Amino acid sequence: MNKLVVIALGGNAIKQAHECGTSDEQFVNVETTCHELIKMNRLGYKIVITHGNGPQAGNLLIQQEESKKLLPPQPLNIVGAMTQGQIGFMFQNTLRNFFHLAGKEVPVVTVVTQVLVDENDPDFADPSKPIGPFYTEQEARVLREQKNYLIKKVKPNGTKIWRRVVPSPEPQMIVEAGSIKSLLEARNIVIAAGGGGVPVRLISDGTYQSLEAVIDKDKAGNILAQAVNADIFLILTDVEKASLNWGLENEKPLDKITVEQAEKYLAEGHFLKGSMGPKMTAAIRFVKAGGEKAVITSLSRATDALAGNTGTIITRD
């Protein structure tokens, strides 16, 4: 097999919406994910892992803001780096332990990653990235008034469908790409670009300066997948397949589709900007850049989807 798969895991899979977000809860969710990753390793796939951090970054940002009377709050770029370390450690520790108990020593390493963005990206003026808890409409209204949060509707229906949003510029380049490739060549499982990476801008003297934003992890995952010449880009979320008319009576799950079909459905507005939209956009970009295929599916069906038995599979033709 020996195909290289970049796996993009949603932050919501690590801290689920109905959970408090304790470390114990998150470790249980990470363990569930790692069982699937172990299966992929046994099937011969080489693995690079990236992950979201929306719930974790949003919660940590609240902690910074609420404790400012006691300690200086850390800005969003530092919060992003902190959650890269947090979630990377959880996967690194759990995967290494699982392999060890199975009698196999596999090195796993986390790279705190910087990702180049354009400081003039329009999302700085009109933020779109949801972070932190979900809120009811009433809760959202209070937070707008009392905390001056920018809050947007991120789901088409339900009770808690509102979330705080922050800027999410387009990723352009993985700064640590060379180091990540070297680690892969040394047969490490690499966890990189967590939470989309820390966004940075390139300044005139050739150095990087971080910016306060949260990059979409699927879009950053695509840039990462291209940088390491991945064969497959696997996006794991909370649904088995992407759908047309999602949440409506005429909802239609998508199986295997071409890039051309995916672009058409995206243009028609079938995929919400704050959820499936970035995933489909990232999948399209990966395949158009030369990837073999992109797959969107749920965590529990990951290996089945790689085998072509489920999920939404996007190919050139």
157 confidence band (pLDDT: 50, 70, 90): confident
129 in active site: yes
Residue-level pLDDT at 1: 58
247 confidence band (pLDDT: 50, 70, 90): confident
Give the pLDDT mean for 84-100.
Answer: 96
Give the pLDDT mean for 57-76.
Answer: 92
Catalytic residue among 10, 11, 195, 291: 11
Give the pLDDT mean for 153-172.
Answer: 90
Does 95 or 58 have the greater pLDDT score?
A: 95
**Distances, alpha carbon 131 to alpha carbons 17, 55, 62, 66, 283, in Å:** 11, 5, 10, 16, 22
**Distances, alpha carbon 71 to alpha carbons 24, 64, 82, 224, in Å:** 26, 8, 16, 35
Catalytic residue among 10, 12, 52, 54: 12
256 in active site: no
Q: Give bridge partners of residue 192 from the DSSP assignment.
A: 111
Q: Percentage of residues in the chain with pLDDT exceeding 70?
A: 99
Catalytic residue among 15, 129, 219, 293: 129
Catalytic residue among 217, 219, 241, 293: 217
Report the sign of the C-alpha dihedral through residues 254, 259, 264, 269, in that order.
positive
217 in active site: yes
14 confidence band (pLDDT: 50, 70, 90): confident
Question: Domain holding 62: CATH number?
Answer: 3.40.1160.10
pLDDT at 207 over 90: yes
Give the pLDDT mean for 278-285.
Answer: 96
155 confidence band (pLDDT: 50, 70, 90): confident
Cα–Cα distance, 224 to 204 (Å, whole number): 25
The pLDDT tens digits of the residues spanning 122-134 come to 999 999 888 888 9
Please give the tally of structural domains in the chain.
1
Give the pLDDT mean for 197-203.
Answer: 97
288 in active site: no
Catalytic residue among 46, 219, 279, 293: 279
Out of 19-23, 65-69, 170-174, 307-311, pick the least confident: 19-23
pLDDT at 17 over 80: no
Are 59 and 16 a contacting pair, CB within 8 Å? no
Out of 2-6, 12-16, 258-262, pick the least confident: 12-16
The domain of 112 spans 4-315
11 in active site: yes
| Average pLDDT along the chain | 93
